Amino acid sequence: MEFKTVLKERAIYIEELLNKYMPKEEGYQKTIMESMNYSLSAGGKRLRPILTLEACKIVGGNEEDAIPFAVAIEMIHTYSLIHDDLPALDNDDLRRGRKTNHIVYGEDMAILAGDALLNYAFEVMLSSSLGKKNPEKYLRAINEIAKSSGIYGMIGGQVVDVQSENEQIPKEKLDYIHNNKTAAIIIGCMRAGAIIGDANEEQIDEITKYAKNIGLSFQIVDDILDIVGDEAKLGKKVGSDIDNNKSTYPSLLGLEKSKEIANELISEAKKSIEKLSENVEFLNGLADYIIAREY
Amino acid sequence: MEFKTVLKERAIYIEELLNKYMPKEEGYQKTIMESMNYSLSAGGKRLRPILTLEACKIVGGNEEDAIPFAVAIEMIHTYSLIHDDLPALDNDDLRRGRKTNHIVYGEDMAILAGDALLNYAFEVMLSSSLGKKNPEKYLRAINEIAKSSGIYGMIGGQVVDVQSENEQIPKEKLDYIHNNKTAAIIIGCMRAGAIIGDANEEQIDEITKYAKNIGLSFQIVDDILDIVGDEAKLGKKVGSDIDNNKSTYPSLLGLEKSKEIANELISEAKKSIEKLSENVEFLNGLADYIIAREY
């Protein structure tokens, strides 16, 4: 089966899980559930939850144990998109061809829906972890998710990204943004999955390296696609980084050098994962897919 | 010692704890820490963290074990105020006599600082719970905080409050708002404190009743103060509920009946707490203080 088909199938499975874990749209406060679920069901590649489950499986765990963590990381990713799209931030009216949350529900509800999704992610992880055999393991896994999405992870990256608009920044700072805005929650969700799968420390280390390398590569490829990408295939406008005078890998290092680095990171990622298991087909395929998205 | 002095002393202790737990203002992303800490150090009565510690103590626990939970609940309370003050919500420029977060740091940073404080509250609770003797207890306590601040608690109340502006609503709906917007996190933080203090189920029940009753009474008194309060003493404008055509206890039931209900709730709260311990002085004093704030 072609890798894209496998990925699509897994995304469909994640959609089913999300539908199961979404809050019911009822009660006086049901508008907030509608607003949360509107954005949760807006599609996307669902890479983060897929990676959470795969990390659990590849270390020998039962991927079903990691389901609440997979769902939670997608809720956190979704809340970050809702808030990112707000007028005070990126001011985007459309995402994946649909109206953004604040366009449909108003800015007040979009702010609260983002808050609610972040909070609900923790509710899902915590409530599903109660009464389990090894509670310390669950605390550790939730802690990984929390660290990776806060000021020493995703939010940290967003802040520096926001502050670096219309500014030429050095590569070190750009790497900070990419590593935190994008790679951090990929690392967090894979570490959480591996922990739930009872990974040993060496396995967690290799998973971490894989996640860090594909996370950075993913973001570099995004930078590249913003220059050479096909709008129709990508489903979004290209050229916005240049329009916004944003520092990117291509703007700092040139297109060819950026491609080279993205490729190197993917090779490194594959090396880490091959130490882990013989069933590396999916994670190898995913690594290749990240750079094959375009050029 | 007068109760107000005791309360003041405890608030000072909470300030010290907050200072200790605040994130360091360093790194590329340090603006977000500054923005978080600006609002965290804006003062206030610090009732929620005080109640968290007291709930732990009154059931026979060591209140120091509940410190991360006390700090976390104040971070959650603070994030909710930052987002509440945003132009898209209450659009307030001042809070406790200081400029609101978005006035100082901009709307973009205020949105992210609120997100960051909510996330950081979980980081503090989770990281401090790792490696403890009874991890299940910590999971339970964090779960209480999470439930009480989400769509089935505080955010639920906020949503219905926002949607009920300029609208006459029935008492049942007003109770929903008060019980969720205000009482829920008082219940959550006291239950968490009690769980950390190894409370039994009966103790948790009585703590829950106390918290629910003082929480609702607190909000009814706020409604009353908005009519009869002294602006200088309150440190905020009165009459805004009437200006905003908001449904309140006095607008639905009249001033006298509202006072009566607030008093009844306080008596009920005291009854619950007296079953718990002989050292009920502080919680009784706090219950009295809630209605003595003004009339």
Contact B111 A86 (CB under 8 A): yes
- Pick from B208, B124, B179, B148: which is nearest to A119 by CA? B148
Rounded-to-integer distance, Cα B244 and Cα B253, Å: 18
Average pLDDT on B11-24 reads: 98
Query: Does pLDDT of B249 surpass 70?
Result: yes
Distance from the Cα of residue B251 to its chain's centroid: 24
Start-to-end Cα distance in chain B? 22
Contact A151 B29 (CB under 8 A): yes
Rounded-to-integer distance, Cα B54 and Cα B74, Å: 15
pLDDT at residue B234, as a whole number: 67
**Residue B227 structural domain:** 3-292
Query: Considering only CB atoms, which chain B residues are within 8 Å of A139?
Result: 126, 129-130, 135, 138-139
Residues 44-83 of B with CB under 8 A from A: 79-80, 83
Rounded-to-integer distance, Cα A207 and Cα A272, Å: 7
Contact A126 B118 (CB under 8 A): no
Asked if the C-beta of B147 comes within 8 angstroms of chain A's C-beta atoms, the answer is yes
Asked if the C-beta of A22 comes within 8 angstroms of chain B's C-beta atoms, the answer is no
Nearest by CB to B118, from A115, A142, A176: name it.
A115
Contact A123 B147 (CB under 8 A): yes
Below-50 pLDDT ranges, chain A: 295
pLDDT at residue B235, as a whole number: 65
In this structure, which amino acid lies at residue B20? K
Q: Which residue out of A24, A31, A75, A126 would a mutagenesis test of the B interface target, given it has the greatest number of B Cβ atoms within 10 Å?
A: A126
Query: Does pLDDT of B257 surpass 60?
Result: yes
Over the stretch B220-236, which tens digit does the pLDDT of each residue have?
999 999 898 877 676 66
Helix (H) or strand (E) holding B94: strand B94-95
Coil, helix or strand at residue A283: helix
Contact A111 B122 (CB under 8 A): no
Coil, helix or strand at residue B22: coil
- Provide DSSP, A78-104: HHHHHHHTSTTTT--SEETTEE-HHHH
pLDDT at residue B192, as a whole number: 98
- Pick from B229, B223, B226, B219: which is nearest to B294 by CA? B229
Backbone phi, psi, residue A6, to 5°: -60, -45
Contacts with B8 (C-beta within 8 Å, 6 or more apart), sequence order: none
The Cα of B128 is separated from the nearest Cα of chain A by a number of Å equal to 10
Q: Which residue out of B92, B112, B125, B173 would a mutagenesis test of the A interface target, given it has the greatest number of A Cβ atoms within 10 Å?
A: B112
Asked if the C-beta of A29 comes within 8 angstroms of chain B's C-beta atoms, the answer is yes
- Pairing of the two strands A98-99 and B94-95: unpaired
CA torsion B283-B284-B289-B291 (nearest 10°) is 120
Rounded-to-integer distance, Cα B113 and Cα B119, Å: 10
Coil, helix or strand at residue A146: helix
Q: How far apart, in Å, are the Cα atoms of B153 and each of A10, B27, B219, B227?
A: 33, 35, 15, 27
**Token pair listed for B19:** 């200072």
- Mean pLDDT (chain B) is 95
Residues 188-207 of B with CB under 8 A from A: none
Q: Which residue out of B28, B102, B163 would a mutagenesis test of the A interface target, given it has the greatest number of A Cβ atoms within 10 Å?
A: B28
Q: How far apart, in Å, are the Cα atoms of B230 and each of A237, B160, B221, B237, B293?
A: 56, 28, 13, 9, 10
Rounded-to-integer distance, Cα B10 and Cα B18, Å: 12
The Cα of B156 is separated from the nearest Cα of chain A by a number of Å equal to 5
**Token pair listed for A109:** 């509800």
Q: Which residue out of B73, B84, B159, B178 would a mutagenesis test of the A interface target, given it has the greatest number of A Cβ atoms within 10 Å?
A: B159
pLDDT at residue A9, as a whole number: 97
- Pick from B286, B258, B292, B256: which is nearest to B270 by CA? B286
Backbone phi, psi, residue B94, to 5°: -125, 145
- Between helix B184-196 and helix B67-84 the angle, nearest 10°, is 160
The Cα of B148 is separated from the nearest Cα of chain A by a number of Å equal to 10
Query: Does pLDDT of B295 surpass 70?
Result: no
Query: Considering only CB atoms, which chain A residues are within 8 Å of B27?
Result: 156
Please report the ipTM that was assigned to this predicted complex: 0.97
User: Domain of B220: which CATH number?
Assistant: 1.10.600.10
Query: Considering only CB atoms, which chain A residues are within 8 Å of B173?
Result: 28
* Total domains, chain B: 1
Between A and B, how many residue pairs show a Cβ–Cβ distance under 8 A?
Answer: 161
pLDDT at residue A235, as a whole number: 65
Counting beta carbons within 10 angstroms of the beta carbon of residue A141, is it exposed (0 to 12), middle (13 to 18) or buried (19 or more)?
Answer: buried
**Token pair listed for A244:** 């916004």
Helix (H) or strand (E) holding B95: strand B94-95
Distance from the Cα of residue A91 to its chain's centroid: 21
Query: Considering only CB atoms, which chain A residues are within 8 Å of B159?
Result: 29, 31-32, 109, 112
Contacts with B208 (C-beta within 8 Å, 6 or more apart), sequence order: B187, B190, B191
Beta strands in B66-119 (DSSP E): 94-95, 98-99
Contact B139 A139 (CB under 8 A): yes
Start-to-end Cα distance in chain A? 22
Nearest by CB to A151, from B32, B127, B150: name it.
B32
Residue B199 pLDDT level (bands cut at 50, 70, 90): very high
Contact A28 B160 (CB under 8 A): yes
Rounded-to-integer distance, Cα A219 and Cα A180, Å: 11
Rounded-to-integer distance, Cα A172 and Cα B28, Å: 10
Backbone phi, psi, residue A95, to 5°: -145, 130
